[in-house]
Amino acid sequence: MSILDQLNPQQREAATTIEGPVLIFAGAGTGKTRVLTHRIAYMVQEKQILPEQILAVTFTNKAADEMKERISQLIGARASQVLADTFHSVCARLLRRYGEHIGISPNFAIYEGYQEGQRANNALDFDDLLFKTVELLESKPAVREELQARFPYILVDEYQDINYAQYRFIRLLAGTRGNVCVVGDDDQSIYSWRGADVRLILSFQKDFENTRVIKLEQNYRSTRKILECAHHVICQNETRAEKKLWTENGVGENLVLHQAVDEDKEAEWVAATIVRQVQKSGMRYGDYAILYRINAISRAFEIALRGRGVPYQMVGEMSFYDRAEVINLVAYLKLIFNPSDAASLRRIINTPVRGLGSNMLNCLTQVASEAGVTLYEALPLLADDSRLRQAQRHAALNFYDMVEGLRKDAEQMGVAELVSRVLDRSGYLKALRNSKRAEGAERADSLNEFIAGAVKYQQNAQEPTLGGFLKRLAPLADTDKPRGLDNSVSLMTLHAAKGLEFPVVFMAGMEEGICPHKRSIHDEFELAEERRLCYVGLTRAKHMVHLSHARKRTIFHKVRERQPSRFLTDLPQELVDHSGVSAYASRVRVRRNTTSRAATYADVRETAGGSAPSKAPRTQKKAPRVPGTPVLDRQAAEIFHPGTKIVHDDWGNGVVVSISQDGTLYMLTIRFEKRKHGVKKMLAGHPKLKAR
């Protein structure tokens, strides 16, 4: 039996088109990995290409391991001769072998630096490592030519996720021969915050002449109704390659739309629906996934699932109550409730940073031991301690005074108000909001959701007290939780769901300001990515999709009216069951026969989570941009010149060192003021980059 027998015609074409540049658009559930591995097997077995001449790169160790395993199943021991690995591992290997040409020692110190940086920001330091490899290939023609001869056949997985450094790496290795095959789906490009640029896959045909374009559109995962709904969402994006998934699977059931009174009722409906279906249909808890745009809203679902004894697992993230920002806030509350809690004091005395580090804590411990008092009681005793600098003594007393003030507040105000006061007086929330780290805003969202939980406790408890609230949190924050089991409901963000599939998917929090995220509503580039996120969520489902949103959501300690996500209006209404939507929602629901969607959001009031779109949505999508159409940064490039001062949303201030054109792309070399960011290369049209 031929290794190609189990491939459909489009997959077979993709697997057997070996020479020249090949762009494979592989839609969700179309068998992308099968095509890649069968292509390699075909090259080795049928075309007699030496396996050591093949380079296959992907993004994660998991994907690389899966690729190696599947290749091994097809061609046996010869699979080990194929260099199939992550960008990081391939670059590390090349730098070990050739790094001395650009001053990198054989012991590979740069690798250690990359790992240290990775803990803070994986993508940035990943780029730093790649830049050294690109520098090697650009500056040493002999090395470049040697590697081009060694790897005449290159395959790249998940090409929609590459950044500019990875693009340069591939282009330099491909050389003039251009036997490079890339596989990806621009409709699933959701990592711009990590440096990925969807324009790179869309401009592939321009960068590599005579590209063969192959589209994998037969979906093996979802029902027809799910695919039709997903297509109606994604086709609203203007800049995309035109394609439409189809399937020989059954028609399937309508999507279900549910509107809840608030976030807790939404979570209770999801949990109750899962339990009911498991009991009646014989499905397993492991068949279900709850997807959401932001981590913060997982709190309500964890509580609802626990309340019904439903096992669950957090995929790609921590439980809400295990997150550092939540643990820190709880530590503040514990210290206010019990000043003798030394563990809580140690945790938050320098959170946010107050100059009260380990040296000060050692001194405090010694003073407490000598005086026979608790750590908290020892704080005022540091006022005249000569072992500490004046600034440290001052900071220690300020911390003590702050906690004392909060203890008095706890006697007079409700729990929710106290939590808000703690975040304000401590400066913790402000520090997270001002953080340049990408996750700072998300952590602030988690604290917002924590306050919402405090509000709910205050509303429902007969005698709400700080002690009662902490007692209620204890079982949620312990380690004896019904999660992490084989047969358990999966909770995850839409980002974490990419590449996964489930029989039944719940997409929760489908509201303006959540999905799409409030930061993207007024930015067309970011809004397009939010739409792709929604598309990714829909295409995770095999048989059934449930969509839910809340009429009201507690934001800090105020209840805010919410509006349904604009993405819900893109769905063909005849394929959506609205039985769970009240008459209220019908005012903002769009039917496909209306002539304009402007009325949908005409009465949307600005809320803490988002506001009405600045212009009425389109009634018809514009012609999509097809691969090969130039994607230029020319207009942006005219703004930037060597010496131009810039500001980046995440990395802060910098200055343009140089600008260069690479095919259709304009690239800036920027030196950032903060040493940890150093010199970076970025596309001139990057949405997070602005001139000062």
Residues involved in catalysis:
32-33, 157-158, 188, 540
- Rounded CA-CA distance 434/427 in Å is 11
Q: Where are the alpha helices (DSSP H) in 539-633?
A: 583-586
Q: How far apart are CA 513 and CA 521, in angstroms?
A: 7
Put residue 234 in one of left, alpha, beta given phi > 0 → left and psi -120 to 50 → alpha. alpha
Distance CA 209, CA 217 (A): 24
Q: Is 666 helix (H, G, I), strand (E, B) or coil?
A: strand
Of the chain, the end-to-end C-alpha distance in Å amounts to: 63
Beta-sheet pairing, 22-26 with 212-216:
parallel
Q: Using DSSP, state whether 267 is helix, strand or coil.
A: helix
**CA–CA separation, 163 vs 157, rounded Å?**
13
Please say whether the beta carbons of 509 and 467 come within 8 A. no
Which string of b and e fits 88-119 if b means at least 16 CB within 10 Å?
bebbbebbeebbeebebeeeeebbeebeebbe
For residue 437, the SS3 value is coil
CB contact at 8 A, 313 and 483: yes
Helix/strand/coil percent split, the chain, to 5: 50, 15, 35
Q: How many CB atoms lie within 10 A of CB 175?
A: 18
Contact partners, residue 184, CB within 8 Å, separation at least 6: 24, 25, 26, 156, 157, 158, 159, 160, 161, 201
Amino acid type, 112: E
In terms of C-beta density within 10 A (0-12 exposed, 13-18 middle, 19 or more buried), how is residue 137 classed? buried
CB 530 within 8 A of CB 250: no
Query: Beta strand pairing status for 665-672 and 679-683?
Result: antiparallel
Burial (0-12, 13-18, 19+ Cβ within 10 Å), 620: exposed
3-state secondary structure 377-433: HHHHHHHHCCCCCHHHHHHHHHHHHHHHHHHHHHHHCCHHHHHHHHHHHHCHHHHHH
Question: Under the phi-then-psi rule, with left for phi > 0, alpha for psi from -120 to 50, and beta for the rest, what region is 604?
Answer: beta
The burial class, CB within 10 Å (0-12 / 13-18 / 19+), for 143 is: middle
**Are 332 and 348 in contact, with CB atoms under 8 Å apart?**
yes
Q: Looking at beta carbons, which pairs linking 336-342 to residues 24 or more positions away fall under 8 Å?
A: 336/403, 336/406, 336/407, 336/410, 336/418, 336/422, 336/466, 337/410, 337/466, 337/467, 337/470, 339/374, 339/376, 339/377, 339/403, 339/407, 340/374, 340/376, 342/374, 342/375, 342/376
Neighbours of 393 (CB within 10 A): 18
